[in-house]
Amino acid sequence: MKKTAVVAVSTGCLDYLDIEHDNLFIIRCKILMGDKTYDDYVDLNASTFYDMIKNDDSLVPSSSMPAIGEINETFEAIEKAGYENTLVITISSQLSGTYQTCIMAANNYEGNLNIKVLDTKNAAISEGFISLEALRLIEEDKPLDDIVAYLEKLSLARKQYFMVDNLRLLVKNGRLSGAKGLMGRLLKMKPILEVNDEGKIVPFEKVRTQRKALEKMVDHVLEDLKDLKNFVVTYDTSDNKEGFEYVKNRIEEAHPDHRHYAAPITPVIGAHTGHGTVGVAYFDLDKAKK
């Protein structure tokens, strides 16, 4: 079997998990604040970032995708390490230009790697879970084309919701679809948002308080999970520990043995969600296998 590497993007939050895979490589988006540029997680991790934006309202962070030169350098390092195949797994192409940049880098790469690029249509740890599934299937010696086909189904066999405490950065940076005409009302509320099947962030339900938004978000997930037998849940937060624990504990009460992954929202995504976000997603593994 040919050796296969996985290239994940730092947006998938895998840095925050206790995992070790020799064939996992992570390319890093950038956080821009004022005249400073930070490599996601390496120069600025979630804990430090959220302390910064909580303590200074004048900070308006933004983000940029990995440079094409850095992606090429990663491909060169992978080939030099003896890998023949590379699977690049990116954040939703509707939320970042990273997917298109990786396609461009793959098409222009002058080495001998067989490179495939997958748009997960997800973000944060649910994006990261798709990379973990790729690593698992590679360890099982599954053919690369079969892995890609399964991951494409998996990326759509999910529902992803999150509650944002303040929509200012999501709207300012253009990451919230369908917000035009709703802003006056949404900014006064704690809306539940979702990542739809296209990988876009869209309004799902308008709620007046954070607590009610979290309750309704969990209600939607639990209602869906009643009919599922084989699923994985992902949890994430931008330093809203109380909200995070509420969501996770309610789902654990209903499904005490469920498989799950949890991670902070890394700064390059937090630059858009801001502080106080809580997210939850689930993957229907039986649907992905059909």
Give the pLDDT confidence score for residue 226 in this predicted structure: 95
Give the pLDDT confidence score for residue 117 in this predicted structure: 98
Beta-bridge partners for 37: 32
Rounded to an integer, the average pLDDT of 171-186 is 50
Distance CA 26, CA 32 (A): 19
pLDDT digits (tens, 9 = 90+) for 225-253: 999 999 999 999 999 999 999 999 999 99
Give the pLDDT confidence score for residue 157 in this predicted structure: 97
Give the pLDDT confidence score for residue 172 in this predicted structure: 60
Rounded to an integer, the average pLDDT of 94-123 is 97
What CATH topology corresponds to 4-156?
Answer: Rossmann fold (3.40.50)
Give the pLDDT confidence score for residue 178 in this predicted structure: 47
Nearest-Å Rg of the Cα atoms of the chain is 19
pLDDT digits (tens, 9 = 90+) for 2-24: 799 999 999 999 999 999 999 99
Percent of the chain with pLDDT over 70: 91
- Architecture per CATH, 158-289: 2-Layer Sandwich (3.30)
Q: What is the mean pLDDT of the chain?
A: 92
Q: Is the confidence at residue 197, as pLDDT, over 60?
A: yes
Give the pLDDT confidence score for residue 18 in this predicted structure: 96
Q: Is the confidence at residue 182, as pLDDT, over 50?
A: no
Please tell me the least confidently modeled range out of 42-56, 138-152, 183-197: 183-197
Q: Is the pTM of this model over 0.85?
A: yes
Query: What residue ranges do the domains of the chain occupy?
Result: 4-156, 158-289
Please tell me the least confidently modeled range out of 34-38, 100-104, 161-165, 266-270: 161-165
The confidence band for 188, taking pLDDT boundaries of 50, 70 and 90, is: low
Torsion of CA 131, 135, 141, 142, to 10 degrees: -10
CA distances to 15, 77, 161, 179 from 41, rounded to whole Å, are 7, 21, 24, 29
The 3-state DSSP class for residue 155 equals helix
CB of 10 closer than 8 Å to CB of 266: yes
The confidence band for 179, taking pLDDT boundaries of 50, 70 and 90, is: very low
Distance CA 198, CA 120 (A): 10
Distance CA 81, CA 75 (A): 10
The structure tokens listed for 25 are 């490589």
